[in-house]
A and B are shown apart, each in its own frame.
Chain A
Amino acid sequence: MTDTQKAKLMLVDDEVIITNQLEEFLTLMGYEIVAVASSGVEAIYMARLNRPDLVLMDVMMPGRDGHPGLDGITAARRIREEFNIPSIFITAYGGDQIISRAKDVEAFGFIVKPLQEQELRAAIEFALYRIRMERRLRESEEKYRFVVSTAAEAIITIDSKGNIAFCNPAVEKLFGYETEEIRGRPFSFIVPERLRLQFENEINRIVLTGESEIIGKTVESFGSRKDGTEFPMEYTLTTWEVREGIFFTIIARDITERKRIEQMKSDFVSLVSHQLKSPIAAVLGCIDNMLMGLTGDLNGRQVEYLEAMQEISERNYRIISDLLNVSRIERGILSVTIEHVQLFEVIEIAVQNHTRMAEDKGLEFVFDYPGDLITVHADRDKLIEALSNVVHNAVKFTEKGFIRIQAKKDKEYGIIEVEDSGRGIPEEALANLFQKEQIFQGAPSSQGGCGLGLYIAKQFVNLMDGDITVSSKLGEGSLFTFSVPLERSGN
């Protein structure tokens, strides 16, 4: 029976007059009568054969040929149990005992004779409505159950006491427990002992305050198997509230393999970059010693050649460093050493490396410092590298004019501005300027580098609670602004 099809009914009554009357009556009302039975036994047989949607069942039916037979309530129970077909009971008198027995069978309706058309129709329609709802619910529940039971992730529901209320079969694979085995036990059971208290506190905090940083986030942690072994696990915790209180759903997966690959990748990147950097560092060292005059006097052409070699090697060295930095940023293993840093000193070092390049292009470096020293809280080396990257770009993309570098204070921040009179940055590129992805959008640069400098600079400065912003006008130049927390008295 779909919502539009005719509902199929079966009539059960030992009085033929009544069934005949009902059949005619109900057919007129638009129902399809698929079977008529006159005893409990026959009703079960006909239900099996014709599978009606609903049974109209007379409660009082005497046995035949002196046998007590099945009464309507017992027959209805069997039909409900075996074929999942519900019944509406029809009786001549609504005695208490009959009503309470009918309730046990979960009657879908109860009609007292003599039958009235309105009452009959209402009872049948209500029962059919309920059948449809139950069917829909069952279907959606089946779909849901299918999703949950076939999921590769362990899905665990926890009640507000921290006990496991439900878990799917994947739990067996992940943790080694049968689902029945851990239902009702505390969730902390499946995390290693050292993490249990922390986890229980977190759950309690959510129950009490409804707040937690981990809700909805994917968190890396560890799981504990039945045999006591540990494995790296990733989980997402969500909460939902019902009448009984807050419930939690945890979706967990084993990330052993991913962790292993990450480690391999990281070892590999570190090995390769070491192997690549080392020879370049050696070449740079040799060139440097020659330029320092340690190998004897050089003529002008020789110096020129060596400087060209130096520039190319430095560029290669920087590219490898950049790739290594990006890999570290992405693995989240970058740390900062915060100390008191003089902006003046940072600027001096960052600019030093670019003076020759600027001189070659005829660019002027303009400095603008206030009289007093500006001391910030920063990671000295990373701030130098970030500023150096920005200055490098400024020199690279400015053909004539100046690079102005200004240091000042603004509220709680030390500010460094790097302004150039270069070609400027198109508006559409500004939004993604500090993104790693921007390198795929711009035209390939003939001037070397892989375009990761600004991404790294911003990531570095963010790590020390600072920021870099940019404004630019095409054809007029760009302005990069660093802000880094000022040293505060007392820390």
Chain B
Amino acid sequence: MDKIYDGTILIVEDENVFRMIYRGVLENAGFEVIEAENGRKGWEAIRTRKPDLVLLDLILPEMSGYEVLEKIRQDPETKEIPVIVFSVMGADENIQKALQLGANFFKIKGASSPSEILEQIDKILSRNQ
């Protein structure tokens, strides 16, 4: 993707290597990237930094991705922030639950190239403008 973006994206992910991969993809596309390695820190960063979009893993220490998602959607100050959930657990019920809780998109890790996430981010951000 040749388009250059701006904006801040928060990656909430406990695995260092996935943070590295997605940071690479996002920074290459022009985004500023911030990271949180557990759910609690993720929620803190969302409240204090108000990122333009959150990339959220489901299985996280201290606070699960589902809980973080619920908090984002309940808080009037954060409820409009787009969230893309990304997980290796791509079972129907995981996807349905995440979407019901207000996720904008569900990406299954490993099922397609990480860089494909830019397409979804593009769709979501241009819709929100």
The number of A-B residue pairs with CB atoms under 8 Å apart is 61
CB–CB A285/B110 < 8 A: yes
A285 and B89 contact, Cβ closer than 8 Å, known pairs A278-B109, A294-B25, A317-B110: no
- Is B91 an interface position by the 8 A CB rule? yes
Task: Determine whether B92 belongs to the interface, using a CB cutoff of 8 Å to chain A.
Answer: yes
Q: List 13 A-B contacts (CB under 8 A).
A: A270-B89, A274-B59, A277-B88, A281-B18, A281-B88, A281-B109, A281-B110, A286-B17, A289-B114, A289-B115, A295-B24, A335-B93, A337-B92
In the bound complex, what is the Cα–Cα distance between A278 and B18 (angstroms)?
A: 9
Counting CB contacts under 8 A, is A284 at the interface?
yes
User: Which residues of the other chain, A, contact B24 by a CB distance below 8 angstroms?
Assistant: 289, 294-295
Rounded to whole angstroms, the CA-CA distance of A285 and B18 in the bound complex is 8
**With the chains together, A286 CA to B25 CA distance in Å?**
10
CA distance A281 to B57 in the complex (A): 13
Is residue B125 contacting chain A, with contact meaning CB distance below 8 A? Answer: no
Tell me if B126 counts as interface (CB < 8 A to partner A): no
Question: Is B15 interfacial (CB-CB < 8 Å)?
Answer: yes
| 3 residue pairs, one from A and one from B, having the closest CB atoms | A281-B110, A285-B21, A281-B109
Q: How far is the CA of A50 from the CA of B111 in the complex (A)?
A: 87
Separation of A321 and B114 alpha carbons in the complex (Å) = 18
Decide: B89 and A335 in contact? CB cutoff 8 A. Answer: no
CB of B20, distance to nearest CB on chain A (Å)? 8
Does A282 count as interface, using CB distance less than 8 angstroms? yes
A444 to B15, CA, bound (A): 36
B28 on the interface (CB 8 Å rule)? yes
A339 interfacial by beta-carbon distance below 8 Å: no
A286–B109 touching, CB < 8 Å: no
Interfacial chain A residues near B15, Cβ < 8 Å? 278, 282
Contact of B17 among A277, A282, A288, A295 (CB under 8 A): A282
Cβ of B129 within 8 Å of any chain A Cβ, yes or no, is no
Contacts of B128 in A (CB 8 A): none
User: Besides the contacts A294-B28, A335-B93, what 16 more A-B pairs have beta carbons closer than 8 Å?
Assistant: A274-B88, A277-B88, A278-B15, A284-B110, A285-B17, A285-B18, A285-B109, A288-B114, A288-B115, A289-B24, A292-B25, A292-B28, A294-B24, A295-B24, A333-B93, A337-B96
Assembly CA distance A338 to B17 (angstroms): 35
- Chain B residues 21-52 with CB under 8 Å of chain A are 21-22, 24-25, 28
Q: Is B100 an interface residue (CB 8 A)?
A: no
Residue of A nearest to B17 (CB): A282
Residue from A270, A274, A333 with most neighbouring chain B CB atoms (10 Å): A274
> Given the complex of chains A and B, what is the CA–CA distance between A335 and B92 in angstroms?
7
Contacts of B20 in A (CB 8 A): 286
State in angstroms the CA–CA spacing of A280 and B28 once bound together.
23
Please state if A328 and B25 are interface contacts (CB–CB under 8 Å).
no
**A contact residues around B17 at 8 Å (CB):** 282, 285-286
The residue on B at minimum CB distance from A310 is B113
- Measured between alpha carbons, how far is A446 from B9 in the docked complex, in Å? 44
Q: Which residues of B contact A321 (CB under 8 A)?
A: 111
Interface of B is mostly: helix
Given the complex, which residues of B lie within 8 Å of A292, measured CB to CB? Answer: 25, 28, 113, 115
Contact partner, A277, options B18, B22, B93, B110, Cβ 8 Å: B110
- A288 neighbours in B (Cβ, 8 Å): 21, 113-115
CA distance A286 to B28 in the complex (A): 14
Assembled-state Cα–Cα distance A111/B42 (Å): 102
Measured in the bound complex, the distance between the Cα atoms of B17 and A286 in whole Å is 8
CB-CB < 8 A to B28: which residues of A?
292, 294
What is the bound-complex CA distance between A282 and B88, given in angstroms? 10
Q: Which residue of A lies closest to B94 (CB)?
A: A270
Determine the residue in chain A with the shortest Cβ distance to B1. A292
A366 interfacial by beta-carbon distance below 8 Å: no
Q: Does A133 contact B (CB under 8 A)?
A: no
Output the nearest chain B residue to A289 by Cβ-Cβ distance.
B24
- Residues in A with CB closer than 8 Å to B111 are 317, 321
Is there a chain B Cβ closer than 8 Å to A261's Cβ? no
Beyond A288-B114, A288-B115, A289-B25, whether A282 also contacts B92 by CB under 8 A is no
Within 8 A of B (CB), among A299-317: 317
| Cβ A328 vs Cβ B21 within 8 A | no
Which residues in B have their C-beta under 8 angstroms from that of A295? 24
Q: Please report the C-alpha to C-alpha distance between residue A188 and residue B89 in the assembled complex, in whole angstroms.
A: 41
Q: Does A334 contact B (CB under 8 A)?
A: yes
Q: A288: nearest residue on chain B (CB-CB)?
A: B113
Q: Mark A308-348, 1 if CB is under 8 A from B, else 0.
A: 00000000010001001000100001110100000000000
Which residue of B is nearest A277, CB measured? B88
Contact indicator B114/A285 (Cβ below 8 Å): yes
Interchain CA distance A324-B18 in the complex, whole Å = 22
Instruction: Give complex CA distance A317, B28 in Å.
Output: 26
**Closest residue to A280 on the B side, CB-wise?**
B110
Question: Which residues 53-98 of A sit at the B interface, judged by CB distance below 8 A?
Answer: none
Contact A282 B89 (CB under 8 A): no
CA distance A337 to B106 in the complex (A): 14
Q: How far is the CB of B35 from chain A (nearest CB, A)?
A: 15
- Tell me the bound Cα distance from A55 to B70 in angstroms: 89
- Out of B25, B89, B92, which one reaches A274, CB within 8 Å? B89
Of the candidates B18, B25, B59, B93, the one whose C-beta lies within 8 Å of that of A282 is B18
The answer to whether A278 and B88 touch across the interface, beta carbons within 8 angstroms, is yes
